[in-house]
């Protein structure tokens, strides 16, 4: 299995641990992530508020590059996934859009035919690779580790290509395959606030507080979105003040937890980049001290 890999801006900067662990996990599962040469920012959510055509042209350029490679494109960031996925949806809805994109991309010597399939990393691991292969690769059981699966709002909505929009199960199945105790969590697709926390902080903290307040008794939260991970990991001190009690729960990427189950070296997990210490998780699964 081979995929055109689109890391996106965040994984090249603030979420290096996600990028490094994702590459390592795919390698261990026998799937190849081929970097897209000269990829550009997808524009994320803010681009559409600036210019609609720009918000389509930016991800379309990456799709055109992936088409040249003849591979499906895989995104690890949920916002990037949504930006890439919406291009063809918008072209189908608005027939005038495709020739406008052709003109823009043509100026850069590119063409977009709409043949590339956009995939989320979670979709590929859960459905192309599958829980059985994940379990077969496991070297360290996660038995007894109580894990909250938090998908966030953009991983499965609005297009619902590979999982349900309200109570998705793809991540749950992968966690169960690694023998983790999956904690029932009704907020698994509720929004974390994304970048709202930087502009309207009180609202952002309220959203994150609601999410973390429901994790009592869990050992960690696992997510597949860098914005979700940052918000839930970085603001626990402020959430603690808002809730009037201490909140201190590690927030890991799914690929970091998989890398632990696969017994990969520490330099391919980068747990030192997590803000809340994951040491309790390591102790619970018997990870060697000092690793």
Taking only the tens place, the pLDDT of each residue in 222-263 is 999 999 999 999 999 999 999 999 999 999 999 999 999 999
Please, which pLDDT band fits residue 285 given cuts at 50, 70 and 90?
A: very high
Tens-digit pLDDT profile for residues 149-181: 999 999 888 877 889 888 999 999 999 999 999
**Averaged over 63-70, what is the pLDDT?**
98
Q: What is the pTM of this model?
A: 0.96
Nearest residue to 161 (alpha-carbon basis) of 117, 114, 130, 192: 117
What is the H or E stretch that residue 221 is in? strand 220-223
Residue spans in the chain of domains classed CATH 3.40.50.11810: 140-281
What is 2-121's CATH number, 3.40.50.920, 3.30.1330.30, 1.20.120.420, 1.20.1050.140? 1.20.1050.140
Q: Token pair 């949504």 is at which residue?
A: 82
- Please check whether the domain covering 140-281 is classified as CATH 3.40.50.11810: yes
pLDDT of residue 213: 98
Q: Name residues whose C-beta falls within 8 Å of residue 221's C-beta, 6 or more positions apart in sequence.
A: 147, 148, 150, 212, 215, 232, 249, 250, 251, 252
- Are 83 and 46 spatial neighbours (Cβ–Cβ below 8 Å)? no
Instruction: Print burial letters for 163-184: b (CB count within 10 Å at least 16), e (below 16).
Output: beeeebebbbbbbbbbbbebbe
Nearest residue to 25 (alpha-carbon basis) of 176, 129, 118: 129
What would the two tokens of residue 26 be? 């795919």
Give whole-number Cα distances, 203 to 48, 152, 200, 234, 271, in Å.
22, 17, 6, 16, 29
Q: Token pair 């063809």 is at which residue?
A: 88
Please, which pLDDT band fits residue 45 given cuts at 50, 70 and 90?
A: confident
What would the two tokens of residue 149 be? 């699966």
Tens-digit pLDDT profile for residues 7-39: 999 999 999 999 999 999 999 999 999 999 999
Give whole-number Cα distances, 23 to 2, 57, 151, 258, in Å.
12, 27, 20, 12
- Are 2 and 74 spatial neighbours (Cβ–Cβ below 8 Å)? no
Q: DSSP label at 272? A: G
Distance, first Cα to last Cα, the chain: 31
Q: Is 60 helix (H, G, I), strand (E, B) or coil?
A: helix
Residue spans in the chain of domains classed CATH 1.20.1050.140: 2-121
Tens-digit pLDDT profile for residues 75-100: 999 999 999 999 999 999 999 999 99
DSSP bridge partners of 253: 223
pLDDT of residue 49: 79
d(CA 11, CA 270): 13
What would the two tokens of residue 1 be? 């299995």
Environment class of 38 (CB within 10 Å of its CB; exposed 0-12, middle 13-18, buried 19+): exposed
Percent of the chain with pLDDT over 90: 90
């Amino acid at each position: 299995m081979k995929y055109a890999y689109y890391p996106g801006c965040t994984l090249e900067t603030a979420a290096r641990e996600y990028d490094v662990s994702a590459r390592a996990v795919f390698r261990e599962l026998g799937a190849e992530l081929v970097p897209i040469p000269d990829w550009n920012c997808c524009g994320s959510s803010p681009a559409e508020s600036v210019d609609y055509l720009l918000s389509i042209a930016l991800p379309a350029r990456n799709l055109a590059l992936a088409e040249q490679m003849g591979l499906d494109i895989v995104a690890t960031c949920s916002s990037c996934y949504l930006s890439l996925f919406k291009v063809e949806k918008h072209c189908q809805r608005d027939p005038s859009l495709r020739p406008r994109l052709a003109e823009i991309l043509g100026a850069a010597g590119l063409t977009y035919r709409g043949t590339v399939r956009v995939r989320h990393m979670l979709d590929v691991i859960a459905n192309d690779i599958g829980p059985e292969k994940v379990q077969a690769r496991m070297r360290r059981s996660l038995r007894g580790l109580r894990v909250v699966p938090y998908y966030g709002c953009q991983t499965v909505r609005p297009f619902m290509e590979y999982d349900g929009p309200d109570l998705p199960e793809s991540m749950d199945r992968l966690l169960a395959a690694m023998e983790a105790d999956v904690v029932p969590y009704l907020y698994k697709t509720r929004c974390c606030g994304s970048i709202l926390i930087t502009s309207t902080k009180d609202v952002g903290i309220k959203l994150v507080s609601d999410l973390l307040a429901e994790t009592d008794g869990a050992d960690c939260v696992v997510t597949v979105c860098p914005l979700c991970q940052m918000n839930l990991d970085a603001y626990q001190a402020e959430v603690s003040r808002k809730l009037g009690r201490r909140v201190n729960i590690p927030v890991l990427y799914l690929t970091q937890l998989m890398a632990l189950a696969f017994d990969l070296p520490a330099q391919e997990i980068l747990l030192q980049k997590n803000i809340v210490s994951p040491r309790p998780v390591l102790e619970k699964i018997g990870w060697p001290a000092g690793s």
